[in-house]
Structure 1
Amino acid sequence: MKNLLKTGLLFLAIFAATLFMSACREDFEPTRSEGNLSFSKDTVFLDTVFSNIGSSTYTLKVYNNSTNLISIPYVGLSQGENSKYRLNVDGLAGKVFENIEILSKDSIYIFIETTVDAAIQTENSFVYTDQIRFDSGSNLQTVELVTLVQDAIFLYPDRNAAGIKETLATGVDQTGAPITVEGFLLEDDQLNFTNQKPYVIYGYAGIPSGKTLQIDAGARLHFHENSGLIFANGSRLEATGTLSENLELLENEIIFEGDRLEPEYSEIPGQWGTLWFTPGSTASLDYVTIKNNNIGILVDGNTGSKNPDFNINNTQIYNSSNVGLYGLTASILGKNVVIGNSGISNLWLRLGGNYKFTHSTFANYWSQSFRSTAAVQLDNYLETDSELLIATLERATFSNCIIYGNQSQEISLKAIATADFNFSFSHSLIKFDDPFDEFADEANYDFNNESIYLNMLFSENPDFRNSAINDYRIGDDSAAKNLGDPSTALKVPLDILGESRLNRADSGAYQATLFED
C-alpha cells in the first residue's frame, strides 16, 4: 500500500512538473511580432535645439496588446548609425537593436535624444527628421522623429593649457582674496549683438570699461546655467528693442532667457544668473524681456545721482527665482516697467539710492515656494556679517503704478533714522491689508499723509487678465482704471503695448481693456 502511495505521489509530482515546464515554455518562448504594436504617439517632436547642444530626453512607449510574449526582430533608426538621434530601448543604448521582447499586455519605454550640427545645412534653422522602424516588410511600423535645429553664435570662456577656464574678478572677500566667476571679456568685434542669429552664452560675458554693448531690436540672448552679463565700471548697455505686433512672438523685442528651448522650460525660474551692472556702469533698455533667471537685473552702487543714467522703459522681467530688479545704492528711472512673479521681491531697493518709477506694474503671485516678503521693498541700510551699512534714500517715487500680489502687504518700508528715507506714492493701487493694525503706529505707513501717499487705492481689485502666466493687462473693471494722474500720463503718453493714455490715465503699465473670451 505504501509503495502504491509513493508511486501515486511520484506520478502527481512528475505530472505537475510537466505542466509547469509546459506553462513556462509557453510564457518564455516568444512569438514573432506581427505588426500589431501600438505607440504612445505616432510622431515625437523633440522641439527646438541649438546646433551641437544636446536635447532633453523624450519618451515613446511601445505596447504589446496581444496575449503572447512577442519578439520584434528589428528596432532601429532609419538612418542607422549615421542618424543624429540616439535611442535607449528598454535599458539598451544604441541606434539599431535586434529581438526586442515585450511581455503580453505589457509595454516598453524608448528614450530619445539628439545632437545636431547646423553646419550640415545652409539655413539658420532647419528641420531634422528620422524615424524609428519596427520590424520590416509587411510587418513594418514606424514612428517619426522631428527636431527644429537652430544655428547660433556661441560665446564662452577659453581654457588655458591646463584646461582651466577663464575667470573674471568681481571683487575681494573679507580676507582680501579675489572673488571670481567663470567668464570672459567681449572683444570689440563682439559688442554688437544683432538679430541675425541667437546668441548662446556660457559663463559671464564681461563688457570692459569704456565699452558699450549694443543689442539690436529682435535679438535673442540665451544663457546657460550660472551665466549672464557683467558690466564693468564705465561700460554701458544699449538694448534698443521696438514695439512688436505679435504678443506671442515679440518679434521686435530683445529677449534674455535660458538656453533650453523646449516648452517645459519656458517658465521655469532660476535657469541662469543675472545682468550685473557694477558701480559706474550705465544702461538704456527699451522693449526688453528678461525671464527665468536668478536676479533679473542687479544694479550695484551706481551712485545716487540726481540725474540717473540708468533707464528702463517698456521692459518686462518675469520668473526671477530671487529678485526681479535689485538696486544697491543705485539710480534708476523706470517707465512702463512690468515685473512679475519673483521668489523674494519684484523690486528690492536697498542701501539708499535714487529711483523714479512711472506707470509701472509690480505683481507678485509667486507659487513655486513659500514667500513672506513684499513685492516692493525699500531699505536705507544693508546688514552684513561684519557691519551695518547705511545710506541715504534720496528719492523713491512711484507714480501711476500698481503694486499687488498674493501677500497681505505688498510694500515693505524699512529705515534706520540716522539716514534720510525719502519716498512717495501717488495715484497708485497697492495691496496692503492690516487687519490687526500692526502698522498703525508706523509713520511710513500713514496712508492719510498726502505728502507721501497721494490719491491712493489699497487692496482694490486690479483685474489682471491672468497672473499665473504673467499676463498683467488690466480689465475694464480694474480699480486702476482712471486712477492715474493725467499730467503724469502726458510724460508717458503710450502704454507698454502702444495704447494712448491721452484720453484716459490708467495706473500701471497697461491701459484697461475689455477682455474677450
Structure 2
Amino acid sequence: MKKFLYAFLIFAIAILWSSCRKDFVTVPSSGQLQFSKDTVYLDTIFTNIGSSTYNLKVYNRTDDDIRIPTIQLGEGESSKYRLNVDGIAGKIFQDIELLANDSMFVFVESTIDINDFTGGDQFLYTDAIEFDTGGNEQKVELVTLVQDAVFLFPQQFNDGTIETLLLGVDDEGNESRVEGFFLEDTELNWTNEKPYVVYGYAAVGQNKVLNIEAGARVHFHADSGLIVGNLGSLQVNGVLSTTEVLEGEVIFEGDRLEPGFADVPGQWGTIWLTDGSTNNNINYATIKNASVGILTENSDGTANPTLTLNNSKIYNSSSVGLLARTGHIEANNTVIGSAGQASLYLNLGGRYTFRHCTFANYWTNSFRVFPTVLLDNFLDIGNGTVFTADLVQANFSNCIIDGTNGIELFLDKNNGAELNYNFTNCLIKFNDFNNRFNNNDLYNFSNDLIFDETTKILNSDVFDFKDTAKNEFIIGADSGANGIGNTPAMPFIIQSDILGVPRTNPSDVGAYNHITFDD
C-alpha cells in the first residue's frame, strides 16, 4: 500500500510540474493581439496638471501562451505619457508574457506642459503604445487635448509652508486658517481669454472688486474656492448665451475636465461672501460640483442686498446649494438644484426676496434628510449656546419648491426672534401624510398673509421637469406650474425667463417658461 501511495505521489508531482512548466513555454507574439479600444482619449487636461488614469485591455485570443517582445510608447522615454504594464511602471517594456485566452491591463497617464509646444492656448498631443516591431507591430493611439490656463495659488515659503488666510480666532485665542492668498490688483479682472485655475482660496481684499467677464471659466482645485472679504465685492458679469456652449455664461466648477467628473459633487469648496462684503452681483452664472455653492454671512448694513443673484444656476453641491446666515439676498430667475442636504438654507434670520426661482432637489448620491428649502431664525452651536436673529422677511413669489422627499419646505422658529415669510403664486411640494404639521401654526396654509391663496400646496408630483438627473428643470406642457404666476407687476429683470423667453400673463412659475418635450 505504501509503495502504491509513493508511486502515486511521484506521478502526481510529475504531472503538476509538467503542467506548471507549460505556463512558461511561450511563443513570440505574431501580431494577433486584440484591444478594448483602438484609441485612448485622455480628454482635456490643464497644462502641468496630471490626468486621470485610463486603462486599455489587451487580449490574447489564441491557444498559445505568448511573449510580447516589446511594449513601448512611440516617443520612448521622451513621451509625455506614462504606462503601467502588468503592475510595472515605465515607458518601455520587454518580453511581457500573456497566457492563452487571457488578458492584461495597460494603464495610461499624462502630464504635459503646453509651453513645450507651439500652437496657442490649446494643443493636441498624441503618441501611441506600440506592441512589438516590424511586421508584427500593432498600435493603440493616445490623444490628449492640453488647455493653457491662468493659475492662481498661494505662495510656498522657503521652509516648505504654504501661505494661509486667517478666518478668525476662537474664545481660547486659537486661529482658524485656510490655505489661500489675497488677489493682487493685477489679478482682479478675470477675462474669457483663458480658463482660471485656483489652488487654495483666492481672497478679494478690503475695498477691492473682483470683476469676472462674460464667458469666463473658473476652475477650483480640491479644497479651494473664492472668499470675498470685508468691504470687498464680487461682480460676475455673465450674459445670455445663444448656443449650447453657453458662451456668455460664467461657469464655476472643479479642475478635473474628464467627462467622468462632469457631475461629481464636492470637488471644491465654496464661494464665500463673508461678513461685511458688499454689493455682490452674480449674473448668468453656473456654479456646480461644490461643497457649498454660495455661502453668504450677514449683510453690509445698507438697505441694498449684499448679494443679487440673477439668471443663474447652482447644482450638484455635496452639502448646500445656497447657504445664507443672517444674509440679505435678492434672487431672480435662478435655479438651485440638487444638493446633499438642502438646496436653499436660510439660517439665523436675515432678509430675502426670491422671484421666479426654481428650487428642486433630486439628489441621488446618498440618503437626504433635509428638505429642499429650510428657513429658521437661530443657530445652535451646542453646550446650550443658541444664537437668534430675526428673519425680517423671506418673500417667495412665482417660485417652485420640489424634490424627492414628501415634505420639501421646513420652517423652524426660536421664540427669541421673529420668523417672517410669505409665499405668493408658488408651487410647493408638501405631502404631510403622517399629519405631523396639522397643528403647527408655521404651516397654516389657509393664512393668506403667509401663504397667499394663489400658492398651491401639492401632495403629488406634477412638476414635469425635463430631466432631473441632469439638473434640467425646464418644465413641460403638463406641469402644474404653468399659468399660475403673476409677472407683469414684477421688475423688468423677470419679464423674460432664464433663457430670455418673454413671459406670458398669467406666467408660468419658476425660472423657466414651459416647453413641449420631444418624445
* Same fold flag (TM > 0.5): yes
Q: CA, structure 1 residues 99+305, in 2 after alignment: closer, same or farther (shift >3 Å)?
A: same
After superposition, residues 475-494 of structure 1 pair within 5 angstroms as 475-489=476-490, 491=492, 492-494=494-496
Q: In the alignment, does 2:133 pair up with 1:136? A: yes
- Structure 1 residue corresponding to 2:389, chosen from 375, 388, 391: 391
Distance verdict in 2 for CA 1:15–1:251, change over 3 Å: same
State the partner residue of 2:286: 289
SS in 1 for 2:158: coil
Matched ranges for 1:8-87 at <5 A: 22-87=18-83
| Residues 234 and 10 of structure 1: CA distance in aligned 2, closer, same or farther (over 3 Å) | closer
Q: Secondary structure at the match of 2:77?
A: helix
Query: Residue by residue, what CA displacement relative to the aligned partner does 1:410-430 show, whole Å, maximum 9, x if unpaired?
Result: 111111222211100010100
1:178 is displaced (CA, Å) by 1.7
**Contact 1:497 1:510 survives alignment (8 Å):** yes
Partner residue, 1:153: 150
Other-structure match for 2:511: 509
Gap change, CA 1:21 and 1:421, over 3 Å in 2? closer
1:426-441 map, 5 Å = 426-441=424-439
Measured after TM superposition, the shift of residue 305 of structure 1 is 4.8
The answer on whether the counterparts of 2:407 and 2:430 sit within 8 Å (CA) in structure 1 is: yes
Q: Shift in Å at residue 478 of structure 1?
A: 0.5
Question: How many Å separate the matches in 2 of 1:509 and 1:395?
Answer: 21
- Counterpart among 251, 255, 262 of residue 255 in structure 1: 251
Structure 1's 304 and 509: CA in aligned 2 closer, same or farther, altered over 3 A? farther
Q: Is the 8 A contact 2:488 2:505 kept in 1?
A: no
Matches of residues 332-351 of structure 1 in structure 2 within 5 Å?
Answer: 332-351=329-348
Residues in 2 aligned to 1:511 and 1:368: alpha-carbon distance in whole angstroms: 29
488-497 or 63-72, larger mean C-alpha shift = 488-497
Show CA shifts across 1:457-478 (max 9, x none).
1225111111111000000111
Equivalent in the alignment of 2:501: 499
**Residues 467-516 of structure 1: CA deviation (Å, up to 9, x unaligned):** 11100000011100001113345641010001101444100000011112
Identity %: 49
Amino acid at match of 1:37: L
Q: Does the CA contact (< 8 Å) of 1:205 and 1:230 recur in 2?
A: yes
The CA distance in 2 between the partners of 1:295 and 1:185, in whole Å, is: 21
Tell me the equivalent position of 2:97: 101
**Preserved CA contact (<8 Å) 1:304 1:329:** no
1:365 corresponds in structure 2 to: 362
Which one-letter code corresponds to 1:389 in the other structure? F
Instruction: State the distance in 1 between where 2:132 and 2:506 align.
Output: 68
Query: Of 311, 320, 324, which residue of structure 1 is paired with 2:321?
Result: 324
Instruction: Please say if residues 305 and 331 of structure 1, whose CA atoms lie closer than 8 Å, have aligned partners that are also in contact.
Output: no
Which residue number in structure 2 is paired with residue 208 of structure 1? Answer: 205
Give me the whole-angstrom Cα distance separating, in 2, the residues matched to 1:437 and 1:24. Answer: 71
Q: Per-residue deviation at 1:68?
A: 1.2
Aligned position for 1:314: 311
Residue type of the partner of 1:54?
G
Answer yes or no: is the 8 Å Cα contact 2:207–2:231 preserved in 1.
yes
Residue 466 of structure 2 aligns with which residue? Answer: 465
The alpha-carbon deviation at position 370 of structure 1 amounts to 1.1
Is the CA contact (8 Å cut-off) linking 1:481 and 1:512 kept in structure 2? yes
Quote the Cα distance in structure 2 between the aligned partners of 1:298 and 1:42: 46
CA distance in 1, matches of 2:515, 2:508: 10
AA at the equivalent of 2:470:
I
1:106 shift after superposition: 0.5
Deviations 1:63-90 (A, max 9, x none): 0111111000010000000100000000
Pair 1:21–1:350, CA change in 2 (3 A): closer
**What residue identity is the alignment partner of 2:50?**
G
Partner of 1:126: 123
Shift of 1:310: 1.6
Which residues in structure 2 correspond to 1:401-440 (within 5 Å)?
401-440=399-438
Question: How many angstroms apart in 2 are the aligned matches of 1:305 and 1:422?
Answer: 20
Q: Which of 169, 179, 182 lines up with 1:182 in the alignment?
A: 179
Structure 2 residue matching 1:487: 3-state secondary structure: coil
- Contact in 1 for aligned 2:424/2:455 (Cα 8 Å): yes
1:28/1:498 Cα in 2 relative to 1: closer, same or farther (>3 Å)? same
Gap change, CA 1:19 and 1:350, over 3 Å in 2: closer
Distance in 1, matches of 2:408 and 2:378, equals 20
User: TM-score scaled to structure 2, two decimals?
Assistant: 0.95
Contact 1:490–1:501 (Cα < 8 Å) also in 2: no
Residues 1:448 and 1:96: Cα distance change in structure 2 (over 3 Å): same
Q: Is the 8 A contact 2:48 2:111 kept in 1?
A: yes
**Residues 1:213 and 1:303: Cα distance change in structure 2 (over 3 Å):** closer
> Where do 5+ consecutive residues of structure 1 fail to align?
none
SS in 1 for 2:186: helix
Structure 2 residue identity aligned to 1:209: Q
TM-score normalised by structure 1 residue count: 0.96
Name which of structure 1's ranges 87-96 and 9-18 shifts more when overlaid on structure 2.
9-18
- Counterpart in the other structure of 1:246: 243
| Alpha-carbon distance, 1:11 to partner | 8.8
Question: Whole-Å Cα distance in 1 between the matches of residues 61 and 230 of structure 2?
Answer: 67
Amino acid at match of 2:93: F
Residues 350 and 138 (structure 1 numbering): CA distance in 2 closer, same or farther, change over 3 Å?
Answer: same
Deviation at 1:22, TM superposition (A): 4.8
